[in-house]
Chains A and B, each alone.
Chain A
Amino acid sequence: MTAPSLAAAPAALTGRRNLEGNEACALGAIRAGCRFFAGYPITPSSEVAETMARELPKVGGTFIQMEDEIASMGAVIGASMGGVTAMTATSGPGFSLKQENLGYACGAEIPCVIVNVMRGGPSTGMPTRPAQGDILQARWGTHGDHAVIVLAPASVGEAYSETIRAVELSETLRVPVVVLLDEVIGHLTETVDLGAVAEAPGIARPFATGPREGFLPYAETADLVPPMPRPGDGYRSHCTGLTHGPDGFPTQNPAVAAAALTRTTDKLVLHRARIESWREQATEDADLLIVAIGISARAARQAVKDLRAEGLKVGLFRPVTLWPFPETPLREAVAAAGTRKVLVPEMNQGQLVLEVERVLAGRAEVTGLSRIDGETLTPDEIAGAAREALK
């Protein structure tokens, strides 16, 4: 038997469908070539697993419900090591449990996609209530320095298209990608044109094809993405979570160790233009710029319309790629408009605002707006805070 191919025909996903954000993530992953899903039940993300359990067998994929969150992350990495595109989905407590193996995937550069549907925390928190409290955990949840990509859809259509992009970035750059939804986007039902992304991007993992003799599984290539050896192809290489050199074996040589870690983080810097994605609404002359993600950005969009109707110059900057944060585009938007004030509404005690403050570093006055009671921020709340800031 030969190894499954990523080029396997995607499911016949066409037409307009009414979908939940969670379902859209599952279908997007299948559209992008995901053929393995391991999960564990958790509110409010279970529909991702349920959709995968129903759809994956139809396209020759494999679904498995594992014994716990840790195991499902391990199984996803194991499948990906075998050369098959793999994904899992979870929410806060499960996301915490997945962090160690997520770090393994960062260190060993194993492609995988993790959908995290944010709910109230900490701990068991408010399982059925929305929150955006995992913004920093998604970036820094696992221990040690590491590179990771986090995408933050704000609609069901985007849950579909961004999960496709998550698979593409993960496979081509050999890096874990987190699709970060809040509970509202996960359970929101909207119409999605599944065929709108028919020309799916070139999703192809760089598999090793050269000579077996002297093969280095973590060689420093020009694009900083080493071709991945696939079991059965004759490379017989080693893969470890220990710090390893180009040969894949553990090292404590200071120069080799530093170079290895630097390459995995430099990789995302080199490919930044491909990774970064953001949307701007009425930013060109904005005195005040709102920076928000997910459902908070949806509320902010309405607030911008309402404030513009009042004659206030307010715009919205929405990072779709949350990490690495689109810092240059934000600085440029602020500089181009001569923006004086920036408002960061988010459903936590102030996480995104820290990054915005760091990025703008005094270029504009940054204010946060928090809501942590399990309810969403409303357009009126955001508009009120914007008026206050502009006074």
Chain B
Amino acid sequence: MTLPSLSLADFFPLLPAILMVVGACILLLSEVFLSATSSRAYQAVLTVVTSVAAGAVAVAMMFEPPREVMLGFGVLDPFSSFLTFVVSVCVGLAALSSVGFLRNRGAERGEFYALMLFASAGMSLLAMSNELITLFVNIEVLSIATYALTAYLRRGTRPSEAGFKYFILGAFSSAVLLYGAALLYGATGTTNLSAMVGPLGGAMQAQPALVYTGVVLVGAGFAFKIAAVPFHMWTPDVYEGAPSPVSALMSAGVKAAAFAAMVRVFFTLGQGIDPRLPLALFSALAFLTMVGGNLLAIPQRNVKRMLAYSSIAHAGYLLLGVAALFVTAPGEQFRLLGPSELTGGSPLDLARAGALRGILYYLLAYTFSAVGAFAMVSALERREDEEKGTAWDLERFSGLAQRRPGWAFAMAAFMLSLGGIPPTIGFMSKLLIFQSAVDAGLIGLTIVAVLSSAAGVYYYLRVVVYMFMRPVPEGAQVLERNWGTELALVVSTAAVVVLGIIPGPITAWLEQAGTLFGR
């Protein structure tokens, strides 16, 4: 029995996740020494500092050469580093918006922030996973932390109900994914994604049923995680019942990490199986998710629930990008995009490289817009109304422009961005995805995407109309200001507007981030 020898430098690629775990442990341990009345303001600050540090390390890692790390169980490539950056942004903003939320409910505890950091460490590692069991363990690390966060508030029936639904469907989907992974292991004899590419072709000849069942089960497991229609039933209830900052973390961070893992797994599988299978799978899911998410969001008067359905719709646009990744010319063998294809391959290669960049840009754009919108929701809701279910009604937004013009402006920016209206980051990211889908030849599906996103503008603009054109209702609640929420709003609004006008810095960066390990 020989133990692998790892030097300290071998752990460097895990640094963002290590920072997050260390931050979480400090939060957990320091909580022990506090009494019930001690000030806990440092906890959010520590979480934000940790996520900023992790994000900065991730940015530095974008320029590392892509390679296998940790004995091939993970990979360090610009793709995973970019996802770590997105996750850090998401957890930092969500932590800022939790300050006021938790204080209003008398629920400020170190565990909350520690669980957020554990979840984000899982997300960061999930984006790096290159082995099916590592992938499963990281999915569980992030899921278990988010189950606990969902049911974190002990008062009332909603949080435990949301936690229960999320737990059952999350555990169910993990089990489906794991069974699919077991079948793929049986077919190929390895769980390592890089090593799987070789035997997959032979396994397709010998046991096609085994491989196809495995692929479909893994796909279904991921479809649950990203809340694609028809695997979305849990989403609205969970997002509504969870604390708003946690809904933000789930809708942006969990989704981003799951998309990253899904893209990586199917890039591997696509080289062994017929790429038309993932293309058909993702096209069907994209169609159902875009149309279903938008249609279900239209009748919602509950803004938090509307954001949940909108998050489903956005998963649909992302799936359109994922489908575009698997378009191949007739008779062409599917292969990964190397540095040469990223900059100057055939038109189809360029379209697929564009789709990959579009997905990454979209994840960043969605993170800023959705986390900001959920921060706004958490600033307006009041604990007393939660059981009645009116805490998130559209009426809350009536006349907001007269009472807090800054908040109304920020929320308008998030809504326009989610609706894909220029000059916001949401418009730029939709443009990138739709353009590359057209270049890849998915014209019918892109038309559906454009039409359904036009339908989506209706329910986003309705919020704006309520804020700017409705009078302030009689006896409206006092709007409490909180430094955390306001800082989160300022940062996300600035990102949404500035990156919508000048996308240059990020797109130049994405030239790099489209590089996946494995060519």
Indicate, yes or no, whether A interacts with B: no
Residues of B within 8 A of A (CB): none
Residues of A within 8 A of B (CB): none
